[in-house]
Structure 1
């Protein structure tokens, strides 16, 4: 189950430190017990009793060795895309006798990793006390545009997840007049705000780059035993007129939906899941219920009944099943 703060933050901003979006660790002082890359995983941290490797107890996160001298450990993270960071999560779940006492975060803005040695690092969050087995939420009073963050842990220990929420720095004006821009991409601010069911997999991967790696890399609902259908609401990264939709059922062969349909609305700034859950029932039809097949990319252009502009779309799958990716292409517009 997701931490409630995670749900609240991910409704407002994408996670710029998502490994699936391209974030990576570029430098780390020590990762003897567990690699720092692990703290950027999109999955929730787990604890597996009895699982050990050559270095000791396997932990789902970054864990440095016990420090026997002065100093502390740190790791530099390159964000998936530069962005204005508004909130952080420093998560120590499952680290109970081996969590750091405190953490602080610095930021910089550079064009490449090679410039880090001369970068002017600034404080994003001051030294903050940490608890074990706890998800710490830190909001930034004045969002700062960053390309890299340096997470300091004092003096050593383990971090399960490090998430960085903010608005991607995207020059939408450069695409004005173009009708093939992916408005829904997570890298440019697209995000899932509400959904009916996610029994076998959350809908977040719908907006990830590339095709799904396997059947676990997508949105899959339970088998529906009553009338109706499943759905999810998506906030576009930028308002736009919509010219093409893509529904990809990669790897879903015996569990793909029979049909897909889409509605849309223009609701600037609306992110409240409860409001969207209700209002989306009355949005404008964009794509009527259309057949989809197994393990294929389905492209819809001529079938679209209107263009917008829109800020939100609702993808419906009839009656249930799995979708790997969903993409909304169009022209960014200013409202």
Structure 2
């Protein structure tokens, strides 16, 4: 199934491993609100029931017998700029809401109070059962909370919130070495020539990969050449060290990796693949091994501030994490 561009160029901000949590719901009688942001794809288990009825993999409220509607509140791990959503009703057929809307706000509380300035980001939108609903909607300001309104009741399997984290950099941050491409520092995927077994965004996630599916992995290459990807740093900076982790990739790790980089002043994400072929090499071709952390310092050519990095893997395969260590540029 083809998905919109924003699902590949941005990360899922509503990911528990990035600190997101479901903090409140008006009702979750049939299915726990926490399942709404479970990173795993929803499943349907025939014949599975609990004390309240049929077990469903998502958030589901009881049948409403009064006016009004149900809602659920998600707190992001840190402020983010939202670019789009996937409201997923997979496996909800006779119990999905006819419509939904989404509000956003910024608050320091787990559950924003009555004085919260909620702003509608997604107007009431018709939903279908057992379907993905991709909605492009950009927040003009960083937000910390989302309120998913279901009209009037029912169940949603998953909510994915695509965007990038907003960092309010402090003067002290410019003195310290950080991971310039980490998702929590505003890094984001741009494009990969192939993501058959694992998406590019995974390599920016915190911690080590939990399994082979928690990385970027391409299909087996049956033609000359090599696979590649482009990532954007969270802030312009100078790359001084590189860490490549092939955790869990044992029979399918790339034989080698190289990196190119540039300070991109103009253009669009779509124009980058052509330009990137001629970017300056900052890490010449280095061998990789299975299920291991590879650290590179002496081999890195520090060329000054850059904004984007091209990752070349030879000839194909998967890597779990990429860390681009360096300092922020004050330019």
**Alignment CA distance shift 1:258-1:161 (3 Å):** same
Q: Does the 8 Å CA contact 1:260/1:315 hold for their aligned counterparts?
A: yes
**Alignment CA distance shift 1:52-1:186 (3 Å):** same
Corresponding residue for residue 212 of structure 2: 215
Q: Which of 48, 59, 63 is equivalent to 1:66? A: 63
CA separation in 2, counterparts of 1:241 and 1:183? 9
Q: Which runs of 5+ in 2 are unaligned?
A: none
Q: Does the 8 Å CA contact 2:8/2:191 hold for their aligned counterparts?
A: no
Q: Does 1:3 align with 2:15?
A: no
Tell me the CA shift for residue 165 of structure 1: 3.7
CA separation in 1, counterparts of 2:211 and 2:222? 26
**Alignment CA distance shift 1:177-1:212 (3 Å):** same
Q: Which runs of 5+ in 1 are unaligned?
A: none
Q: Does 1:184 align with 2:175?
A: no
User: Structure 1, residues 122-174: CA drift from partner, whole Å, max 9, x if none?
Assistant: 2223751322134141524x613322222221211122332334442312243
SS in 1 for 2:184: helix
Q: Does the 8 Å CA contact 2:6/2:84 hold for their aligned counterparts?
A: no
CA separation in 2, counterparts of 1:203 and 1:158? 30
Q: Does the 8 Å CA contact 2:164/2:183 hold for their aligned counterparts?
A: no
SS in 2 for 1:70: coil
Corresponding residue for residue 303 of structure 1: 299
Q: Does 1:135 align with 2:95?
A: no
User: Structure 1, residues 4-30: CA drift from partner, whole Å, max 9, x if none?
Assistant: 2xx23542x433222332211011122
Q: Does the 8 Å CA contact 1:46/1:60 hold for their aligned counterparts?
A: yes
**Alignment CA distance shift 1:79-1:52 (3 Å):** same
Following superposition of structure 1 onto structure 2, how do residues 139-154 of structure 1 map, counting pairs within 5 Å? 139-140=137-138, 143-154=140-151
Q: Does 1:320 align with 2:316?
A: yes
Q: Which of 152, 168, 171 is equivalent to 1:174? A: 171
Corresponding residue for residue 36 of structure 2: 39
Q: Does the 8 Å CA contact 1:249/1:293 hold for their aligned counterparts?
A: yes
Tell me the CA shift for residue 111 of structure 1: 2.4
**Alignment CA distance shift 1:200-1:306 (3 Å):** same
Tell me the CA shift for residue 334 of structure 1: 4.0
Q: Which of 231, 237, 251 is equivalent to 1:234? A: 231
Following superposition of structure 1 onto structure 2, how do residues 69-218 of structure 1 map, counting pairs within 5 Å? 69-113=66-110, 116-117=112-113, 119-125=115-121, 127-132=123-128, 133-140=131-138, 143-218=140-215
Tell me the CA shift for residue 214 of structure 1: 1.3
CA RMSD between the two structures: 2.6
Q: Does the 8 Å CA contact 2:230/2:311 hold for their aligned counterparts?
A: yes
CA separation in 2, counterparts of 1:25 and 1:46? 17
User: Structure 1, residues 285-316: CA drift from partner, whole Å, max 9, x if none?
Assistant: 01001111121111111101233311111111
**Alignment CA distance shift 1:230-1:84 (3 Å):** closer
Corresponding residue for residue 23 of structure 1: 20
Q: Does 1:289 align with 2:285?
A: yes
CA separation in 1, counterparts of 2:220 and 2:118? 50
SS in 2 for 1:317: strand
CA separation in 1, counterparts of 2:250 and 2:101? 47
Number of residue pairs aligned between Structure 1 and Structure 2? 328
Corresponding residue for residue 52 of structure 1: 48
CA separation in 2, counterparts of 1:219 and 1:126? 31
TM-score (norm 2): 0.88
TM-score (norm 1): 0.87
